[in-house]
């Protein structure tokens, strides 16, 4: 990569995206932040707005997502379904597509897509969210296969429940229920997701591509035991 690589982080206005932007900046990258909310370098909706030229981006982190659409499958409206798919899946693809042309020309680049452990186990009440995050895994594997010969790596990170501002603002009863279901006994910290992104964006990950890496405190693993010992 160049002496000071340029990185794009979407959904960088708060939470996981903000933590990723801070970490990559501390790694020495020139970070460009993008969000629908004011205060970032680029303000746009990844699902529908035109992107500015991003051919000089060497590290692309597609993190922007909607997480608040909650409805059982039999009552979810088509508008709710489409919005989650449009932002979480199509928006991620549009972000990558805006950056990957320059990467292919330079024959180097790092792409990290933020999926979710909901892609593996589903998420009752959030079928559109789970479907959008599962779709990202197929996208990542295809992009990795298409671009390996061009020196571009493409990977997905699958967070568990992360202690963002939004999660910590949930009612206490809901937070306690979530913590009781967490094998590690705590929420994942945004900085822990950022650390995984930092590794995948760095030189030591040059041969890691097409992978889905869960950062979830073992939440995506079965906790059932047929023996007498508990966890």
Name the nearest CA neighbour of 16 among 122, 167, 213.
167
What number is the average pLDDT over the span 119-146?
97
Fold held by 6-162+190-213:
Rossmann fold (3.40.50)
Annotated catalytic residue, options 86, 129, 152, 215: 129
pLDDT band at residue 120 under the 50/70/90 scheme: very high
pLDDT attached to residue 3: 63
pLDDT attached to residue 171: 83
3-class DSSP assignment, residue 172: helix
More confident site: 70 or 210: 210
Q: What single-letter DSSP state applies at residue 187? A: P
Residue 129 among the catalytic residues: yes
Q: What is the pTM of this model?
A: 0.92
From residue 175, how far is each of 118, 119, 158, 187 by CA, in Å? 18, 21, 20, 9
Q: Where are the beta strands (DSSP E) in 145-211?
A: 152-159
Give me the sign of the Cα torsion angle 162, 129, 24, 211. positive
Residue ranges of the domains in the chain?
6-162+190-213
pLDDT band at residue 170 under the 50/70/90 scheme: confident
More confident site: 174 or 146: 146
pLDDT attached to residue 229: 61
């Amino acid at each position: 990569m160049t002496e000071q690589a340029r990185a794009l982080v979407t959904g960088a206005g708060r939470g996981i995206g903000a933590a990723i932007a801070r970490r990559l900046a501390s790694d020495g990258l020139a970070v460009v932040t993008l969000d629908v909310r004011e205060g970032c370098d680029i303000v746009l909706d990844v699902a529908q707005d035109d992107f500015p030229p991003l051919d000089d981006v060497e590290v692309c982190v597609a993190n922007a997502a909607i997480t608040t659409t909650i409805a059982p499958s039999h009552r979810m409206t088509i508008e709710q379904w489409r919005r989650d798919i449009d932002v979480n899946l199509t928006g991620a693809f549009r972000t990558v597509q805006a950056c990957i042309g320059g990467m292919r020309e330079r024959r180097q680049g790092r792409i990290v897509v933020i999926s979710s452990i909901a892609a593996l186990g589903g998420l009752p009440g959030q079928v559109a969210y789970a479907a959008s995050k599962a779709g990202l895994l197929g996208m990542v594997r295809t992009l990795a296969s298409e671009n390996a010969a061009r020196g571009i790596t493409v990977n997905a990170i699958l967070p568990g429940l992360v202690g963002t501002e939004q999660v910590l603002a949930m009612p206490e009863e809901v937070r306690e229920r979530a913590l009781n279901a967490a094998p590690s006994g705590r929420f994942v910290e945004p900085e822990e997701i950022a650390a995984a992104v930092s590794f995948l964006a760095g030189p030591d990950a040059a041969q890691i591509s097409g992978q889905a890496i869960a950062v979830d405190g073992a939440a995506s693993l079965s906790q059932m035991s047929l023996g007498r010992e508990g966890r």
